[in-house]
Structure 1
Amino acid sequence: MTVYGHPLLFGSFLTPTAADPEHVVGLAQRCERLGLDLVTVQDHPYQPRFLDTWTLLSYVAARTRTVRLAANVTNLPLRPPAVLARSVASLDLLSGGRVELGLGAGAFWEAIEAMGGRRLPGGQGVRALEEAIDVIRQVWDVDARGGVRVEGEFHRVVGAKRGPAPAHDVGIWLGAYKPRMLALTGRVADGWLPSLGYLQPGDLAAGNAIIDDAAREAGRSPRDIRRLLNVGPAQSADELAGLALDHGISTFILAADDPGELQRFAEEVAPAVRELVSAEGAPPAQAPVAPTGGFTVVPTPDDGVRRSATRVWDESERPTGPAPDPHRTYAQHELAAAQHLVDVHDHLRSELARVRDLVDQVVAGAVDAGTARSHISTMTLRQNNWTVGTYCESYCRVLTMHHTLEDQAMFPRLRRGDPRLAPVVDRLQQEHQAIHTVLELVDRALVAFVAGHDTHALHAAVDLLTDTLLSHLAYEERELVEPIARLGIG
């Protein structure tokens, strides 16, 4: 069993087809609604049939809320590293810390040359990539003195100003297959991202060995490098679980543009892989041990969009807690506790998006209540007996349980740990009661909808729930993620 200590993640690998731009955007949104963790897009700037990948990722970031985004992988020979670094940091800031950076040394050299790029075969491409990573990391390191300086064989940056810094520690994942690229991955990268279709039997084990040895020689832990893998629809849950257990793969990215295949991957394959890995006794995925540092947990922001004209509270009256100590450092387990709240909330956000999507699908185009009811009988989610009514009811129960746990367990500990948080905790508990009232409205609207009444009340109730819940979750994270870490509340 090979375990590097990273939690299992699942994502998609989409084709940025220019012929139908909204299709790929819709697929990315669908991936988010399905609960996938990551949306990646291939990057071939010389391909006229494709949208520009970084323009597309920026557009998708604006149309999504929680899913992480990456190029798979960025074509470095056509993207100057200093400019790329600022593009990535800018999008990470705009998206609330949701961008990762996949990088490749280059391929399809004739096409790259035709676009004005420089052919860098073999070892030259690897050396150029290493220099580029140095440039990128220096641009992001706004706390270092002086300008960016890399006087390399292929990249020369002499005094460029640093910044902006990304919103979070952006992972650099390398698409590597040969020994020199694998060794580079171990020395300087945060992730290894090959495609299963390009690998031969034994390549994963051999690649891991090269990466691990190079990491140790560079004074790093092999656990510093996440192992990702692009896979196809043909791979079963058993196969993926075997790859996770035998080779430490912790992120599986499905190369597919078919909505049905993406749904099957998210709703059937991913849960089965998690269950199989857990059943084999793999230890719980923990973040790698790292030195203490500043507070790096990024709350998921409220986008400010309001769908309902009803307001259940005045957001301007929300109290704020004490400002964090800028000199305090946080251990990895403290950051993990704070991140857990964001992760739980992001799951609730994802589930809420599914509720909205399911309601929209059921009622879209309904001629009358009878037609709407017939749609309900055919709609499923995860399990064949989960219709819109039972699914929405289940979601409401989960949300109520989450708020009850906070009220009875977490909030009292926050009060005791830092009395200055009392006004914030009081307000959050009041908002829990208000959300409970909104949930009752949703329940009543569901009953009326299933009974055959019009859909307006249901849409209005779901819109109000969306507004209140997203606003509340963002406020809670803004005020509590740092105290949770500081006070050691798990």
Structure 2
Amino acid sequence: MKLGLHYWNYSEPTDPARIAPTLAETARIVEEAGFHRFTVMDHYFQMEHRGTADEPMLEGYTTLGYVAARTERLQLGLLVTGVMYRYPGLLAKIVTTLDVLSGGRAFLGIGASWYEREQRALGVPVVPMGERFERLEESLRICRQMWSDDNGPFDGRYYQLAETLCVPAPISSPRPRIMVGGGGEKKTLRLVAQYADACNLFAVTPDDVAHKLDTLRAHCDDVDRDYDEITKTAVYTGNVLDDPDAFLAAAEQYAALGITELQFMPDRDPVEFATRLTEIVPRLG
């Protein structure tokens, strides 16, 4: 089982001057412990179901550039990029830049976006859900084209690119891996089957994850995609530090379902969380 840390909260420590060193130290701890992935959110306000909108929040790709300079092995990406926040041609260049400067450690995590308060507040267009998913599909197609030998135009319903030139090309071979986040059964998991290298689910219960993976398998059958080509990842939603035995039992169940990577969200000071977490994960065997 590979492991990842999802750094989503910049409120601890409370001193803004400590945000950068705390971020760097947390990344160092999990990298030294052998974690595979380090992710941050693509939000500009804190999520209201996790806190209040006026809590500290950093722009994601700038943050990852900082983490890239202070690590050597961790895979880096947003969990996940909101499709409405960047034009897709520019997004491909942003991820390419991170990939080149990190030595080939970037991946594209992307989803349909949802947080309308921050979008309205900051002037991001708010469009109907169906349009967001159509834009997501076009964005996936554009990124794949930008990372191919095809430098020609892209003519979509929402995006028109005269050229899809991307120089330098990513270091990741053959391109940065694409992870589509979310468990929507009709659209999100279909896009995983069509375009992605990995899915990312919420590990709420093993039964729920099993159902989502069965749905993904059906979409793969529909589009003639090899289900086993897709890496299955999930965010662990339980309290891993307060109940490590429950986590270890759940991890075994998720592994049996085909989940090969679990990500963890700190629920306290990130350095403390990372330190204590690295004392538990060796028990995974």
What TM-score, normalized by structure 2, do the two folds share?
Answer: 0.84
* Contact 2:200 2:232 (8 Å CA) reproduced: yes
- 5+ residue gaps in structure 1? 1-7, 276-490
* Counterpart position of 1:216: 221
Superposition deviation, residue 78 in structure 1: 0.9
Residues 172-321 of structure 1: pairs in structure 2 closer than 5 A: 172-179=178-185, 180-196=187-203, 199=204, 202-232=207-237, 233-234=239-240, 236-245=247-256, 247-256=257-266, 257-269=269-281, 271-273=282-284, 275=285
Alignment correspondent of 1:43: 42
What is the letter of the counterpart of residue 237 of structure 1? L
- 1:125-136 → structure 2 map (5 Å cutoff): 125-136=132-143
Identity %: 28
Map of 1:157 onto structure 2 = 161
Deviation of 1:133 after TM superposition, in Å, equals 0.5
Deviation at 1:34, TM superposition (A): 2.1
> Structure 2: which 5+ residue stretches go unaligned?
47-53, 241-245
Distance change (3 Å), C-alpha of 1:45 and 1:148:
farther
| TM-fit CA distance, 1:120 | 3.0
Distance 2:74 2:253 in 1: 26
Equivalent residue, structure 1, for 2:107: 100
Q: CA offsets per residue over residues 252-290 of structure 1, 9 Å max, x none?
A: 111115334323333422x332x3xxxxxxxxxxxxxxx
CA separation in 2, counterparts of 1:153 and 1:52? 28
Distance change in 2, residues 1:219/1:35 (3 Å):
same
**What do residues 8-40 of structure 1 show as CA deviations (whole Å, max 9, x unaligned)?**
311101125272232122211221122211111
Q: 1:17 to 1:261 in 2, by over 3 A?
A: closer
Corresponding residue SS for 2:234: strand
Larger relative contact order (CA 8 Å, sep ≥ 6): 2
SS in structure 2 opposite 1:174? Answer: strand
1:352 paired residue number: none
Structure 2 residue 80 is the aligned partner of structure 1 residue 73: yes
Q: List per-residue Cα deviations over 1:425-447 (Å, max 9, x = no partner).
A: xxxxxxxxxxxxxxxxxxxxxxx
Deviations 1:356-389 (CA, angstroms, capped at 9, x unpaired): xxxxxxxxxxxxxxxxxxxxxxxxxxxxxxxxxx
Matched, 1:85 2:92: yes
1:248-397 paired onto structure 2 within 5 Å = 248-256=258-266, 257-269=269-281, 271-273=282-284, 275=285
Distance in 2, Cα, partners of 1:69 & 1:139: 19
CA distance, structure 1, for counterparts of residue 73 and residue 193 of structure 2: 29
8 Å Cα contact 1:148-1:161 kept in structure 2: no
SS at match of 2:120: helix
Task: Tell me the SS of whatever aligns to 1:64.
Answer: coil
Q: How many residues align?
A: 260
Q: Distance in 1 between matches of 2:180 and 2:76?
A: 15
Cα distance per residue 1:83-126 (max 9 Å; x no partner): 11111111111111111111110011232132222223332221
- C-alpha separation in 2, matches of 1:244 and 1:148: 42
Shift of 1:194: 2.0
- Do 2:206 and 2:253's aligned partners in 1 also have CA atoms closer than 8 Å? no
Aligned to 2:162, what secondary structure does the other structure show? strand
C-alpha contact 2:41 2:80 (8 A) present in aligned 1 = yes
| Structure ranking higher in helix proportion | 1
Letter of the aligned partner of 1:236 in structure 2? F
Larger-Rg structure: 1
Q: 1:28: which partner in 2?
A: 27
Cα deviation digits, residues 210-230 of structure 1 (max 9, x gap) = 211222322220011111111
TM-score, scaled relative to structure 1: 0.50
Look up the match of 1:17. 10
